[in-house]
Amino acid sequence: MKINLANIKKAQKLLNKGECVAIPTETVYGLAANAYSDKACKKIYKLKKRPQNNPLIVHYLNNQILKRDCSFNNDFLKLYKIFCPGPITFILNLKKNSKISKIVTNRKKTLAVRFPKHPVTRNLLKNLNFPLAAPSANLSSKVSAVNSADVKDDFGKKVKYILEGGKSSIGLESTIIDIRNKPKILRLGGLEISTIEKALNKKIITRNNPQKISSPGQLKLHYSPGIPIRLNVKKINKGEAYLSIKNMRKKKPNFYFLSKNGNLNEAAKNLYSILRKIKKNKHKSIAVGKIPNKGLGRTINDRLKRASKF
């Protein structure tokens, strides 16, 4: 993708003034603000209608800059070298003298950090004196945005500027790992757990569904298109849209598919756009066929399960 420097300048100016700007990332679009400013970060919560106890992920250019705010260990460095920049978020301990706003962390002593890969956002980060707090650029509990039109649909003119970056190449949020002690997955995401396990050469616990919510990516209703969803469906009801993992030979106006031949990465990339499209086409509910529970299929099933708690 060609980088438009004038657009980046515009985003930079607004962020320096304490405004929110939507930014492209390889996972999903983010709603970004200066992570060192209480006032700027409050605007994110207000725009998204996000509960204040749901902390934000902070986006850094690299781990040298992160050193100002967080301490980290060897496991972090191992994963950083292999997967960053990329779709993985680390829970780390905040340093006492960190400048991160208390609004970002909900006064926790930990911080969720990520290094986005998208070249436009990397260029933007290079031009800022602060990291960016950025949750997904959608209304709270709804489907994430994977292109600038989705952001516009959710926020209209309320978001001052959307930095264009094309369609997100992964299309699912980052995998969240608490790396402080024994590594623990807190949210399934765009990076497969087995790949992380191989890199660390150890088994990792998954706490994707705990009693006590420590990471609201685990909240019950989340990622919802705003209409009911039924899973593992064999028989479709009247008025329902049918969503399958691959293109079916039978073509009907209420049939939608996530990929041509069942490729799970392609399906991940299409998931949120298709959920939005089905809602726009005024179907009353969605019946989803079986989706293989391997690779990114696990994350797709996780999102659909949460979206089905309607």
**Which residues, other chains included, contact 144 with Cβ-Cβ below 8 Å and sequence gap of 6+?**
28, 29, 136, 137, 138, 150, 173, 223, 272
Place of tokens 């079986």: 290
Q: What is the DSSP letter of 144?
A: P
Q: Binding of ligand AMP at residue 135 (CB under 6 A)? A: yes
Residue 163 or 245 with smaller CB distance to ligand AMP: 163
Q: Which is nearer to ligand AMP, 80 or 272 (CB)?
A: 272
Q: Which of 25, 37, 123, 136 binds Mg ion (CB under 5 A)?
A: 136
Q: What mask of x and - would describe binding to Mg ion in positions 92 to 111, judged by CB under 5 A?
A: --------------------
Closer residue to Mg ion (CB): 176 or 288: 176
Per partner kind, with CB cut-offs from 5 to 8 A, the member of Mg ion, ligand AMP, none near residue 186 is: ligand AMP
Near ligand AMP by CB under 6 A, which window of 11-19, 124-132, 208-216, 251-259?
A: 208-216
Tokens representing residue 293 in the block:
């529970």
One-letter amino acid of 302: D
**Minimum CB–partner distance for residue 27 and ligand AMP (Å):** 9
DSSP 41-98: HHHHHHHHT--TTSPPEEE-S-HHHHTTTEE--HHHHHHHHHH-SSSEEEEEEEPTT-
Helices within 148-190 (DSSP H only): 148-155
Closest CB to ligand AMP among residues 179, 229: 179
Give the number of other Cβ atoms within 10 Å of residue 113's Cβ. Answer: 25
Applying CB under 6 A, does 116 fall inside the site for ligand AMP? no
Q: Determine if 44 is a binding residue for ligand AMP (CB under 6 A).
A: no
Per CB under 5 A, 34 contacts Mg ion? no
Q: Which of residues 164-183 bind ligand AMP (CB under 6 A)?
A: 173, 176
Instruction: Provide the binding-site residues for Mg ion, judged by CB under 5 A.
Output: 136
